[in-house]
């Protein structure tokens, strides 16, 4: 299999897993619902965010639109870069790492671009109404937001270590802390793994660029 086939197969697989997992969560869980998977340190916890990876956000509609447009430009640049590097004979590992980053960015931009159009809004559950808070896909009445105004679905939560900051730490002493606090998705993971792969294993090639 050629390098081009490998990288675009990788992008397709990551996108498929990312979108299927998000659709399952969006159509079966209410906002804020948690399902323990492995004890109390691996939890499916459904939240949505308006912005970047791991729940970070840019405020307001302008911030969200700017981030979405930046993502689209970045994805276009990454795809162009992949084709260019393949022609140059760049290491397969470097190209696959770029493929992971491209897949992750694409996965989250799909949420922003289309989820507001194809889903009803997720909300907290009402204990008096069975199934309340769970979104419907392709509702007859339309979605909850316009194009590029949808929210990114996150669900993986690993509160591996819980405790309290030592009293001697200024402003934080005695406050509770959780590691790892951010809630994320497959797309976020792909971006993180791709960047880490480049930094750990492709630094020699980076110096030649």
Indicate which residue of 111, 154, 167, 175 is catalytic: 154
18 is catalytic: no
Give the helix/strand (H/E) hosting 116: helix 116-118
154 is catalytic: yes
- Sign, CA dihedral 176-52-17-135, equals positive
Contact criterion met (CB below 8 Å) for 93 and 201: yes
Question: Angle between the 3-26 and 186-201 helix axes, to the nearest 10 degrees?
Answer: 150
Give the helix/strand (H/E) hosting 61: helix 60-88
Indicate which residue of 111, 167, 175, 188 is catalytic: 188
Cβ neighbours of residue 159 under 8 Å, at least 6 residues apart?
40, 41, 43, 178, 179, 180, 181
**Residues 117, 122, 123, 124, Cα dihedral to 10°:** 180
Phi-psi region of 89 (alpha: psi -120 to 50; beta: other; left: phi over 0): left
Contact criterion met (CB below 8 Å) for 135 and 122: yes
- Indicate which residues carry an active-site annotation: 154, 188
């Amino acid at each position: 299999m050629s390098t081009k086939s490998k990288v675009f197969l990788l992008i397709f697989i990551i996108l498929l897993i990312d979108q299927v997992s998000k659709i399952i969560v969006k159509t079966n869980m209410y906002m804020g619902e948690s399902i323990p998977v492995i004890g109390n340190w691996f939890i499916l916890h459904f939240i949505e965010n308006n912005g970047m990876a791991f729940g970070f956000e840019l405020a307001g509609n302008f911030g969200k639109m700017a981030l979405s447009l930046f993502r689209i430009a970045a994805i276009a640049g990454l795809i162009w870069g992949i084709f260019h590097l393949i022609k140059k004979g760049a290491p397969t590992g470097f190209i696959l790492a770029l493929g992971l980053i491209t897949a992750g960015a694409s996965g989250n931009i799909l949420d922003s671009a289309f989820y507001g159009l194809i889903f009803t809004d997720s909300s907290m559950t009402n204990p008096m109404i069975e199934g309340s808070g769970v979104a419907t896909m392709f509702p007859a009445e339309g979605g909850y937001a316009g194009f590029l105004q949808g929210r990114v679905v996150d669900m993986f939560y690993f509160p591996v270590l819980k405790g309290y900051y030592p009293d001697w730490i200024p402003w934080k002493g005695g406050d509770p802390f959780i590691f790892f606090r951010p809630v994320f998705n497959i797309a976020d993971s792909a971006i993180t793994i791709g960047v880490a792969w480049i930094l750990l294993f492709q630094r020699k090639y980076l110096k030649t660029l």
